[in-house]
Amino acid sequence: MWFEHQDKFYHAGAYGLMGIFAWRCFQHYFKSPIILAFSSIAFCSLYGVSDEWHQSFVAGRDSSHEDWVADTIGAIVGVYLVAKFKAQSVDENEALTLANCAIDCANCTFHEQHASKSSNLKS
């Protein structure tokens, strides 16, 4: 190990990734972002508790509440990041939708004007 408590960063990183996966899984069940975030964090935190409890029975492994805290903090960071990027992508999608709508309206107007000029020339 390069420094003391380096393993806490491993715990946080692993559970951060788990938080992202939990978010993606639970998004199909919860529409409210707040409930989705809390559910994802709670799932990861409870899994961390069960993992630490399991490690207390394994020879050569130790269990600590500091590891569980690192797990939970990692899940919080992972869920925060996915929620933040998800909100940004929704805003970007809305902006693209509005831009596409404006382009479609401009095209319709152009084609309507062009069609009316063509019909006037034929008359």
pLDDT per residue as tens digits for the range 60-79:
888 888 999 999 999 999 99
Neighbours of 109 (CB within 10 A): 10
pLDDT per residue as tens digits for the range 15-40:
999 999 999 999 889 988 899 999 99
Q: How confident is the model at residue 42 (pLDDT cuts 50, 70, 90)?
A: very high
DSSP 5: T
Q: How confident is the model at residue 14 (pLDDT cuts 50, 70, 90)?
A: very high
Instruction: Say what the pLDDT of residue 2 is.
Output: 72
Residues 6 or more apart in contact with residue 24 via CB below 8 angstroms: 82
**Among residues 8, 12, 19, which one has the least CA distance to residue 84?**
19
Find out whether 50 and 83 touch, Cβ atoms under 8 Å: no
pLDDT per residue as tens digits for the range 93-108:
565 566 666 666 666 6
Contacts of residues 44-52 at CB distance under 8 Å and 24 or more positions apart, as own/partner, are 44/15, 44/18, 44/19, 44/71, 44/72, 44/74, 44/75, 44/78, 45/71, 45/72, 45/75, 47/18, 47/71, 48/11, 48/15, 48/72, 48/75
Instruction: Say what the pLDDT of residue 116 is.
Output: 57
Q: How confident is the model at residue 109 (pLDDT cuts 50, 70, 90)?
A: low
Mean pLDDT of all residues in 48-57? 93
